[in-house]
Amino acid sequence: MSSPATSSDREKVVSKLPGWLRQNVKIRAAQRGIEIQAAVEQGIRDWCALASTPAAIDTSGADSFSTFLPPGQWDEFRQIAAERRVSLIQGLAQSVQLWLDSHPAPDVERPEVTRRIIVCNQKGGVGKTAITAGLGEALAEDANSLHAVRVAKALAEALRASDNGSDDMPGCEDPLSVENLPGLGLRVLLVDFDPQCHLTNQLGAAPLPMNGDSLTNHMAGDPKGDLRDLIVSVDDEAFGGRLHLLPACNDAFLLDVRLSAVRARESALERALAPVEADYDVILVDCPPSLGLSMDAAAYYGRRRDGEKLGQSGALIVVQAEDSSADAYELLTTQIDDLRGDLQVDIDYLGIVVNLYDSRRGFIATSSLQGWVDIKDPRVVGLIGDLKEQKEAVRMKRPLLSYAPKSQQAIGMRALAREIV
């Protein structure tokens, strides 16, 4: 049946469609960046133009499906379905499947050079590990499934509200600020570069034993095997084998001492990870709260390489909306700027993530957020609230985006991923 519909000069059509087929066209339309109604319209047009009827589709369990079509298209479709002695439900299912067959899922767009993102701040406790894990999970989510993402304008609204002195975080609770988008489907390696092993423990992996091989050994030029043998998969259906972790070892507490005896120590991390880079689209390094030689090596690893575009790799700085983060930020950026000058390299700032934000903490939080917004370069690319789901995921030793995929923190992590890729 049909009824006059919207101001867009289309008519509303109500029929039935199997749930699996409705989900498939919803995902594929999102992957192709078009409206579902445009996909159905094209499918019906192509079905009507066929010389013969396609193979029948199982429509058992079909339930209500509505869309908007150009005036007259549904009547034409109904007439052709009658001539072919095909029910409207079957004809619609064949039309949708025809569109799906002629519009395959696009390939995941992979970077020409493996992107290297160092997640850092000299201050501990700001949530670098949570951001590293959440960002990596968001980058690796299934490209053939839809996931709730905070739209870009919601972050802009939140930051504008900060400019205007508002205590609210617009867009965080408003369902209109969230859209369902396909996952990014990238191959991601998380590197736990912190001797405290927080990232390793949060994802339920075991730290590497002190008497075995480790990233520290490879950086110090004393490997005991292949680095690939140390990497573990974050086994979760949402990531489809695309998310891996290089666990930490407590021997990293001695890394600065061991690096002091290494030639070209700034490139030690790059030399260690070079054998595995081709296996990944993005490598995320969870840095320790340190300004030592290990941080020099991490910053150098994130430098812009020859032929690499601006902003593809670099430093992602995690802060909180309080004063001590600002002090640590100054120390970190001074170190990176000194390294830039001493070694004559380009180290890009990918942005600032304000983590664990809660406007209910009053003037300290809101005024500090304003301070981060005012920096402009690097700009604020993420605003993640201080909510219970992240803490629960850590307690359960599970990835946040699979433990609480619809939580505001998960939605914000996906938005962050899209801001920097």
Summarize pLDDT for 350-360 with one digit per residue, the tens: 999 999 998 88
Report the distance separating Cα 419 and Cα 152, nearest Å: 8
Tens of pLDDT, residue by residue over 394-411, are: 999 999 999 999 999 999
Do the beta carbons of residue 316 and residue 384 sit within 8 Å? no
Contacts of the segment 157-161: beta carbons below 8 A, 24+ positions apart? 158/383, 159/373, 159/380, 159/383
Tens of pLDDT, residue by residue over 182-239, are: 999 999 999 999 999 999 999 999 999 999 999 999 999 999 999 999 999 998 888 9
166 pLDDT higher than 80: no
> Looking at this protein, which amino acid is placed at residue 359?
S
Q: What percent of the chain has pLDDT over 90?
A: 76
Count of Cβ atoms closer than 10 Å to residue 366 Cβ? 21
pLDDT at 44: 97
Band of the pLDDT at 170, cuts 50, 70, 90?
very low
Band of the pLDDT at 5, cuts 50, 70, 90?
very low
Residues near 19 by beta carbon (within 8 Å), at least 6 away in sequence = 61, 62, 63
pTM above 0.85, yes or no: yes
From the list 44, 153, 33, the residue with the least C-alpha distance to 97 is: 44
C-alpha atoms less than 13 angstroms from C-alpha of 299 in its C-beta half-sphere: 29
Band of the pLDDT at 289, cuts 50, 70, 90?
confident
Tell me how far CA of residue 274 lies from CA of 164, 267, 311, in angstroms. Answer: 46, 10, 20
Do the beta carbons of residue 243 and residue 235 sit within 8 Å? no
CB environment 32-55: b (16+ within 10 A), e (fewer): beeebbebbbbbbbebbeeeebbe
| Average predicted confidence (pLDDT) for the chain | 91
> Looking at this protein, which amino acid is placed at residue 388?
K
> Looking at this protein, which amino acid is placed at residue 122?
Q
Report the distance separating Cα 205 and Cα 40, nearest Å: 45
